[in-house]
C-alpha cells in the first residue's frame, strides 16, 4: 500500500478524507503500529471509517492471493520432490 500511495490519485472526497485522517494510532508492545479502536473513535464523535476500511481491505485481497500462490507452488514442489522417495524417513511412507 505504501508503494501505491506514492503514485495514487485519491479522489477529493470529504468522507474518505475523514476516514483516512480521523483514526489516531499508537504502538503495541511489539512496536507495531496499532490503529485506534472504532469504539474509541466513536467516543471522540467520529463515525466508523467504512470507506477507509474498504480501501485497506482491497490490499488485503492481493496479499492473500500471493500467499495462496506461494502455498500452491510449495505443494507442487513437495509432490515432485517426494514422488519417488519410499524410504522410511519419507513423510509419504
pLDDT at residue 82 greater than cutoff 80: no
Instruction: Supply the pLDDT for residue 31.
Output: 93
The whole domain housing 18 covers: 2-81
56 by Cβ neighbours in 10 Å (0-12 / 13-18 / 19+) ranks as middle
pLDDT at residue 16 greater than cutoff 80: yes
Mean pLDDT of the chain: 82
Considering the domain boundaries, does residue 75 fall inside one?
yes
Considering the domain boundaries, does residue 11 fall inside one?
yes
Residue with the larger pLDDT of the pair 67 and 14: 14
Three-class DSSP category at 71: helix
Considering the domain boundaries, does residue 21 fall inside one?
yes
Three cell numbers written together for 15: 468522507
Considering the domain boundaries, does residue 93 fall inside one?
no
Considering the domain boundaries, does residue 66 fall inside one?
yes
Instruction: Supply the pLDDT for residue 89.
Output: 55
Considering the domain boundaries, does residue 90 fall inside one?
no
Rounded to two decimals, what is the model's pTM?
0.53
| Average pLDDT of the residues in 81-92 | 56
Amino acid at each position: 500500500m505504501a508503494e501505491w500511495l506514492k503514485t495514487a490519485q485519491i479522489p477529493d472526497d470529504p468522507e474518505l478524507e475523514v476516514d483516512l485522517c480521523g483514526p489516531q494510532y499508537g504502538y503495541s508492545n511489539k512496536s507495531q503500529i496499532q490503529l485506534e479502536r472504532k469504539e474509541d473513535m466513536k467516543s471522540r464523535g467520529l463515525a466508523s471509517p467504512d470507506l477507509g476500511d474498504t480501501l485497506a481491505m482491497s490490499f488485503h485481497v492481493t496479499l492473500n492471493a500471493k500467499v495462496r500462490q506461494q502455498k500452491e507452488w510449495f505443494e507442487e514442489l513437495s509432490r515432485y520432490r517426494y514422488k519417488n522417495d519410499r524410504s522410511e524417513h519419507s513423510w509419504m511412507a
